Chains A and B, each alone.
Chain A
Amino acid sequence: MKHIFKVTSVLAAISAIWIGLLQTSLLPPNYTWLLPIYLVVALGCYGLFMVGIGLMFFPTCPQEAVLLQQDIVEAKEFLSKNGVDVASD
């Protein structure tokens, strides 16, 4: 099944619950009408929160740049000894 169908069925299920809540008045109707907006806002907040967390704990590796420079020196040494031109362009 295509992914978009999965997404629309989830949205359809949520809509069904919302309409159900409107019909049966388990919650006050004026509150129920605003539920979709609360859901969208909550989703937005969750997204921003995930971006923030990801940014805070973004894995970095400064030592890798150093190791890479060492590897480059080692490689250039071997290659020039074996007849490969390693001049930078």
Chain B
Amino acid sequence: MEERKDELQTKGKEKEVKYSIIVPTYNERLNIALIIYLIFKHLRDVEFEVIVVDDGSPDGTQDIVKQLQQVYGEDRILLRARPRKLGLGTAYAHGLKHARGDFVVIMDADLSHHPKYLPSFIRKQKETGANIVTGTRYVKNGGVHGWNLMRKLTSRGANVLAQTLLWPGVSDLTGSFRLYERSVLEDLVTSCVSKGYVFQMEMIVRATRKGYRVEEVPITFVDRVFGSSKLGGSEIVEYLKGLVYLLFTT
């Protein structure tokens, strides 16, 4: 696994950037380094750049990104920070402004999205000419690890409800591991106004309504390597409100 620094750094200069990978971060000091290593490992012969949108993390995430820039090159890893937590939708818009690629990948920094699936996103887009390729956890070759029965139940119930009400055309509505054609992402980010994971739902539902071609690839989702995230009553209420909003406005 030894890679000479200059080999890694010159790739970006020689070729045009085709894929921009936007990673919003907040306090992901360790994970951002791991994820960047894995991205470079799995996209060896691809022309890409990584855009880290950090919302003023107090744990020194930005310092780590600067160290990574020394290893991989400042034109392969862009740090486009913001002063404080300003929300996911605006993080994508901010990253988009600096993106050079024809395609934009969005993914989480906490290692629930594994970079080893990036080649399958790219391949699916090339094969089908899709405008959007979205990762789905709920199909045969996909899956989730780290969810208890209650969590699976709410996920499945939420999914059935959303399918019945919205006819979205995708199996995983709340997933945020996606590849977008750049112009499509620009269009959707300006049209969507929700917050949190309802934002992800709104993006994909509006994409379907606008007639964009959406394809899916299976992904596996390992929930929070260090600890488990909880889903409380207020999230459920927020989800239901989001569904009703999408039912009436898309």
Say yes or no for B220: interface residue by CB 8 A criterion. yes
Collect the chain B residues with CB atoms within 8 Å of residue A60's CB: 143-145
Interchain CB contact (< 8 A) of A68 among B27, B159, B222? B222
How many Å lie between the Cα of A74 and that of B145 in the bound state? 21
Known contacts: A51-B157, A59-B138, A60-B143. The answer to whether A75 contacts B37 by CB under 8 A is yes
What's the nearest-Cβ distance from chain B to residue A56, in Å? 10
Q: Are B145 and A83 in contact (CB under 8 A)?
A: no
B68 contacts A84, CB within 8 Å?
yes
Q: Interface range on chain B: under 10, 10 to 19, 20 to 34, or 35 or more?
A: 35 or more
Contact of A74 among B1, B67, B149, B156 (CB under 8 A): B1
A60-B145, A64-B222 known; A89 vs B67 contact (CB < 8 Å):
no
Q: How large is the interface on A (under 10, 10 to 19, 20 to 34, 35 or more residues)?
A: 35 or more
Closest to B218 in A: A59
- Mark contacts of B230-247 with chain A using CB atoms, 8 A cut-off: 1 yes-contact digit, 0 otherwise: 000000000000000011
Chain B binding surface SS class? helix
- Which residues of chain A are within 8 angstroms of B5 by Cβ–Cβ distance? 82
Q: Which chain B residues lie closer than 8 Å to A43 at the CB level?
A: 164
Q: Which residue numbers of B lie inside 8 Å of A, CB to CB?
A: 1, 5, 27, 29-30, 33-34, 37-38, 59, 63-64, 67-68, 70-71, 111, 114, 137-146, 149, 152-153, 156-157, 159-161, 164-167, 209, 220, 222, 225-226, 246-250
In the complex, 25 of the A-B residue pairs with CB atoms within 8 angstroms, ordered by the A residue number, are: A2-B249, A4-B247, A47-B161, A50-B160, A51-B156, A54-B156, A54-B160, A55-B156, A59-B139, A60-B143, A62-B145, A64-B114, A64-B145, A64-B222, A72-B34, A75-B33, A75-B37, A79-B33, A82-B5, A83-B67, A83-B70, A83-B71, A85-B63, A87-B30, A89-B29
Shortest beta-carbon contacts, A-B, top 8: A61-B143, A59-B143, A75-B37, A54-B156, A61-B220, A64-B220, A75-B34, A84-B67
Interface residues of A (CB under 8 A from B): 2-4, 6-7, 43, 47, 50-51, 54-55, 58-62, 64-65, 68, 71-72, 74-79, 82-89
